[in-house]
């Protein structure tokens, strides 16, 4: 099992064009290096200073990336309109501290299904997933901290 995990990690490292700091247009295997990061959970009610502390800690510990679950449930206001402000702050802090974000798509799910949806149950849910993905990707696609999307 350990060999399998190591092989997977080496494979992922080899596929990572940003590990070397290469631009989106080029990649050099010779300059590639592994990257280390952490999961950052962004949720309503967190103190602003606490979230900033996490990104500062990532930087201070020489971590270059983080993964953030982009919970749709936390992106709607009381009227049901999109409100990305909770995650906007996290992305802006990531940029400030030089951290790249792998954003995990996480459409609305019940709290008893925290693993998230794997497949839409019907066409209505499929359309809801599409609206979420369209809104999320459109909002963050050009953010300087975005490293990529995790499906």
Return the closest-CA partner of residue 151 out of 86, 107, 120: 107
Strand order in the sheet with 100-106: 37-39, 65-71, 100-106, 146-150
pTM: 0.75
Per-residue pLDDT of the chain in tens (151 residues, 90 and over written 9): 444 433 344 444 444 544 444 444 566 667 777 778 899 999 999 999 999 999 999 999 999 999 999 999 999 999 999 999 999 999 999 999 999 999 999 888 766 666 666 677 889 988 999 999 999 999 999 999 999 999 8
pLDDT of residue 121: 80
What's the pLDDT at 33?
73
Residue with tokens 């900033």: 52
């Amino acid at each position: 099992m350990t060999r399998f995990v190591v092989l997977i990690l080496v494979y992922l490292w080899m596929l990572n064009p940003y590990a070397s700091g290469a631009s989106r247009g080029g990649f050099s295997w010779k300059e590639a290096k592994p990257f280390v990061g952490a999961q950052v959970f962004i949720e309503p009610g967190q103190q602003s200073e606490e979230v900033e502390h996490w990104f500062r800690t990532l930087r201070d510990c020489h971590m270059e990336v983080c993964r953030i679950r982009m919970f749709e449930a936390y992106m709607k206001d009381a009227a049901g309109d999109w409100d990305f402000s909770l995650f906007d702050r996290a992305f802006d802090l990531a940029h400030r501290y030089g951290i790249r974000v792998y954003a995990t798509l996480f459409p609305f799910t019940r709290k008893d299904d925290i693993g998230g949806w794997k497949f839409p149950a019907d066409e209505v849910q499929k359309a809801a997933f599409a609206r979420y993905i369209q809104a999320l990707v459109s909002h963050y696609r050009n953010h300087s901290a975005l490293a990529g999307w995790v499906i």
